[in-house]
Amino acid sequence: MHSQVVIIGSGPAGLTAALYAARASLEPLVVRGLQPGGLIATTSEVENYPGFVDGIGGYELAENIEKQAARFGAQYKDALITKVDVSQRPFVLTTDTDETITADTLIISTGASPRHLGVPGEEQLANRGVSYCATCDGFFFRGKKVVVVGGGNSALDEGLFLTRYVDEMIVIHRRDSLRADPVLQERAFANPKVRFIWDSTVAEITGDEKVSGVVVKNLKTGETQDLAVDGVFPYIGHIPNSGLFKDILDLDENGYIVTDGRTRTKVPGIFAAGDVVDHIYRQAITAAGEGCQAAMEATWFLAEQEHLAKKQAAAPAEEVVSPALGQW
């Protein structure tokens, strides 16, 4: 399987890249990965994406972009890329089913994954009361009491979604003030189902077959308390999904792929966009914008290579000089 443009990841960055590459008649191939639609697909409601006055569900937004790109020729494959070989051109990608895909250009939009608390009980009780997706699992906590850990937009947005089902939602935050947008804070403080535990963190998640409680530690006093709850939803940040490229591309100290400001990585023909690059804004609209940039850069790169190939073919043999591919 060969494509001029292969896109790894199917969140707003990858899907927008697919849309622009498809409109350039490049018939891009999108390898969806483990989370079709990216993290945005697990968000109950997106209220800040331009063009949707009343908001739109995250899954619906991703689905709409995917269909829009498919209309112009984008193709999709449900697989996970496990190996990338950039020592030859075209690049060679291997999937989790040992299929081989070759690509003239590669756009990395693998996004980021929720950061775990790293406390006793978390791993053992994952999917048994510990969840990182309120939209996915909120329904199963009807009439229950749950904890949301964190104080940013994700924590409050997903926590407020949980209040549709739960009897009580407790926000545990390590500081004494929230980082979330004012409009989300206002909604949370006004919601009778929500209460806060400040300057604290979850030190342990308890339970046998399922979550039965958490141990909460006050970071100022060091005191702990046992809190009976049925579910734990950590929203304490994300880790970029860049491990596949750690020996191929430059990564910063936190694992984010380093680009030149135009989505270009150190390897000519490889571009990166979205949350695997951006640890500052991390918005659907900024990811989409970078996806657009990456597709345009890939289009220009391919056009340049085609021009150079024609120039070489037309030149006398003694004048042919191999160019440095994709020089910035």
**Which domains does the chain possess?**
2-114+238-319 (3.50.50.60), 134-234 (3.50.50.60)
> Of the given ranges (61-75, 116-130, 256-270, 311-325), which has the lowest mean pLDDT?
311-325
Q: Is the dihedral of CA 188, 191, 194, 200 positive or negative?
A: positive
Q: Is 292 a catalytic residue?
A: no
Q: How far does Cα 156 stand from its chain's mean position? A: 18
Under DSSP, is residue 50 helix (H, G, I), strand (E, B) or coil? coil
pLDDT category at 321 given cuts 50, 70, 90 is low
- Using 50, 70 and 90 to split pLDDT, how confident is the model at 319? low
| Rounded Cα distance, 284 and 272, in Å | 15
pLDDT in tens, 85-95: 999 999 999 99
Q: What is the mean pLDDT of residues 228-255?
A: 96
Q: Give alpha helix (H) positions in 45-84.
A: 58-71
Checking if the pLDDT of 324 tops 80, the result is: no
pLDDT computed for residue 42 by the predictor: 82
- As a whole number, mean pLDDT of residues 292-318 equals 90
Q: Torsion-angle region of residue 255: left (phi > 0), alpha (psi -120 to 50) or beta? A: left
Q: What confidence tier does 322 reach under pLDDT thresholds 50, 70, 90?
A: low
Q: Are 21 and 295 in contact (CB under 8 A)?
A: yes
Catalytic annotation, pick one of 78, 136, 226, 260: 136
Q: Which pLDDT does position 45 carry in this prediction?
A: 82
Quote the pTM value: 0.83
Q: Is the dihedral of CA 31, 33, 39, 40 positive or negative?
A: positive
Q: What is the pLDDT of residue 326?
A: 46
Tally of residues, the chain = 328
pLDDT of residue 312: 87
The single residue of 104, 137, 157, 275 carrying the catalytic annotation is 137
Question: Which residues lie across from 101 on neighbouring strands?
Answer: 93
- Three-class SS state of 296: helix
Helices (H), the chain: 12-23, 58-71, 134-137, 153-162, 182-190, 284-314
63-71 average pLDDT score: 98
If one compares 133 and 304, the residue with the highest pLDDT of the two is 304
Nearest one of 58, 55, 3 to 26, comparing CA atoms? 3
Q: How far apart are CA 312 and CA 308, in angstroms?
A: 6
Contact (Cβ atoms closer than 8 angstroms) between residue 185 and residue 156:
yes
